[in-house]
Structure 1
Amino acid sequence: MTNHMYKLNSFALALLFSLGLVACGGGGGGGTTTPSGSVLPEVPVSIPASTYLAGSAELGGWNVLQRARVLCGFGALTQNTQLDAAALSHARYLNSISLASGTSILSHYETVTTDPYYTGYYPWDRTTYWGYGNQVAEIIEATSWTYSSGYTSPLQQRGADSMLTLLNTVYHLIGGMYDGADVGFGADLQTVARGVYWHEEYRFGSLNGYQNSARRIKLGAGNLATYPCQGSTGIPTVFVPANESPNPFPAMTSTSQTVGPPIYLKVDAGQVLNVTSSSITQGGVRVPTTVLTNANDPNLDSYGQPYIRTNEAFVVPTSALNPSSTYQVSLSGTINGAPFTRSFAMSTGQ
């Protein structure tokens, strides 16, 4: 279940997954070679310091988002404790009402005013409550786990996985690369016994914002940023459109229908971005792509406007990519009528 909403220049997105009775997982590092190709080595990136606790989901999310933004030119963020407080309170609110009702809930709205974590209906109400202001973007993700044998996953890894999931979307990715220079993270995990099983409710959220023009990140006239970008590694091989709401590919209603990881292109608001050609290749094999823009965005916000603005576009592989492989991406088009080209290599995860 997912949802998405805008308020003027503010917006919020959510993503929810439910997992089955027994969960297990594995991992792998970069720089390995597989039959499907060679993986790029990880590029060193200087991540700003934060006060998030070692081992916390907040730190995991912070590291993934900061690395993506710094590497790809969207700009580093500054931790804001007021946004931290708003994000954490909302995560606790969602878990509180989920456990009280017995139904897993993920929403940007807070409606149970008697709940101890209630601080406001909209995300901007809650950030105002905590003293920040109302120019914010919220992205949130959740998992509802039921398992039989004490399975758990380190919180820092959960936070990292949550942010990577949010960045492997269309509308959520816009939120992750929002213009605000301030950011806050909040995560909450609650576990209860249900008969012979354990049940976990996990909520993770990020709030990005700015209070004045000085805290709004600008790329500069004629400058383009993309995510993924040159040197991006561990990119997921698939994206499930049905898991995002609104669904960027409405005809794909089943979770068995997948595409490849969306590639986001952005210039500053007020400029017009036009993509005229795109290609993604691996080992000489070209992957078909489709382009989502303001002109063909299948979804409209509450003001009747496309979610994808005229300064944004997405190039989406129409099939899943191979794991542990490096892909060459070539893009061209215009920015306010002036031509641009961009080529880079990115690697998928396992």
Structure 2
Amino acid sequence: MKPKNELLATLVAGVALTACGGAWGDGGDMLAPTASTIVTSVPAATYVANSSEALAYETLNAERLQCGFGLLAQDIRLDQAAIGHLNYLAKNNVIGHFQKPGNAGFTGAELGDRAAAAGYDRKQVGETLSTVPFTEDADYAVRLILSAPYHALVALYGLRDVGLSWGSTAVGIRTLEMVFGLPENIAWQNAGKVLTYPCEGSAGVLASRGGEVPTPFPAEANAVWGQPILVNGAGDLRVAAASITGPGGSVAIKAFYGDGQTTDPNAWCRAGLACIIPVALATNTTYTATVSGTNAGAEFRSTFSFRTGAR
């Protein structure tokens, strides 16, 4: 997959304001190695025990490891970039990926600039922002990211490092800022096989949500959908068929984006990625998904069960 320079996806997280996610830095081609490079062990993070930062880090890594995407290591340089950007947002009462020179707390106009200022290689970096009301926690902020297809693609991408920050920004909301990175000359995480999110055993995923901008459904005002099934594979991935069933039978699919299927209107779900987006699901319910097609020149079929949470 080739990162998309400065492509933006904006997340509305249950409040009237928006937060942004899905920005890439300078980008460049990242060629998948032939063998698995999935990370299954990283040094212990230094976030304060029981803090919101620790909760966000642990939630995301648990979801990634469960589904085979590999762990992310905490990087204090990316923490610094995340903290600096969150401070900028708070001081200027704004939400977004970009900063304006001369504004209070300015640390860099773009994500790559802020990563470089913190001493990290700017070429392979990604960023998500998730805003939630003060009544919600960092676990919910992560799950909002993972239920928004374009945001989730960034959070599940094959980078190796992460830094994050959590705090108050605009009036009435708190924001989770996550910055992802790949050190120079290091291979990105690659399983050498098809991966899905959610996957077998995933639990607590959101039953319904909406409000991602750009929206996966540009022709539908105020679209709402259920937890997307995201499929990651080689560059020649073709998902030929997909289905989701629950206690009431088959679940309708609102959109099936990917090479060989409907063209994603925002061009994210393609070139090794497919996004199967169902109608809103029921809470506290187990669903079974099946996806099949070809990947790396071979046929595949994956069937797995996942469970929604209380909302």
If the length of structure 2 is used for normalisation, what is the TM-score?
A: 0.84
Residues 47 and 63 of structure 1 are in contact (CA less than 8 Å); yes or no, is this contact kept in structure 2? no
Number of positions where the alignment pairs a residue of Structure 1 with one of Structure 2: 282
**Would you say the 8 A contact 2:290–2:302 is kept in 1?**
yes
Q: 1:18 Cα deviation (Å)?
A: 5.7
Partner of 1:15: 11
Cα RMSD (Å) of the superposition?
A: 2.3
Decide whether the 8 Å contact of 1:263 with 1:316 is kept in 2: yes
Q: What letter is aligned with 2:238?
A: N
Q: 1:149: which partner in 2?
A: none
Match of 2:130 in 1: 141
In the alignment, what sits opposite 1:293? Answer: 258
1:216 corresponds to which residue?
188
State the Cα deviation string for residues 107-166 of structure 1 (Å, max 9, x = none): 100014231x211111111000000011101011124x5xxxxxx54xxx6211111101
Residue in structure 2 matched with residue 170 of structure 1 by the alignment: 149
Q: Distance in 1 between matches of 2:9 and 2:181?
A: 14
CA distance in 2, matches of 1:320, 1:334: 28
Q: Structure 2 CA distance, aligned partners of 1:214 and 1:277? A: 34
2:228 to 252, 262, 268: 262
CA–CA separation in structure 2 for the residues paired with 1:297 and 1:267: 17
Aligned to 1:180: 159
CA distance in 2, matches of 1:82, 1:307: 28
SS of the residue 1:206 aligns to: strand
TM-score of the pair, normalised by structure 1: 0.75
Query: 1:54, 1:166 → 2: CA distance?
Result: 23
CA radius of gyration, larger in: 1
For 1:265, the aligned partner's letter is: V
User: For 1:295-334, what aligned pairs fall within 5 Å after superposition?
Assistant: 296-300=262-266, 306-317=267-278, 319-334=279-294
How far apart, in 1, do the equivalents of 2:298 and 2:187 lie?
28
Q: Offset at 1:53? A: 1.1
1:202 corresponds in structure 2 to 174
Distance, in Å, in 2 between the alignment partners of 1:140 and 1:190 is: 11
Question: Which string of whole-angstrom CA distances, capped at 9 and with x for unpartnered residues, describes residues 71-101 of structure 1?
Answer: 0001111110000110111111111101xxx
- Give 1:202 shift: 1.8
Please give the secondary structure, in 2, of the residue aligned with 1:86.
helix
Among candidates 86, 95, 101, match of residue 90 of structure 2: 95
Partner of 2:213: 245
Structure 1: segments with no counterpart, 5+ residues: 21-44, 99-104, 146-151, 192-198, 301-305
Q: 2: distance between equivalents of 1:112 and 1:341?
A: 51
Look up the match of 1:276: 240
Q: How does 1:335-346 map to 2 (within 5 A)?
A: 335-346=295-306
Contact 1:86–1:130 (CA under 8 A) maintained in structure 2: yes
Does residue 110 of structure 2 align to residue 110 of structure 1?
no
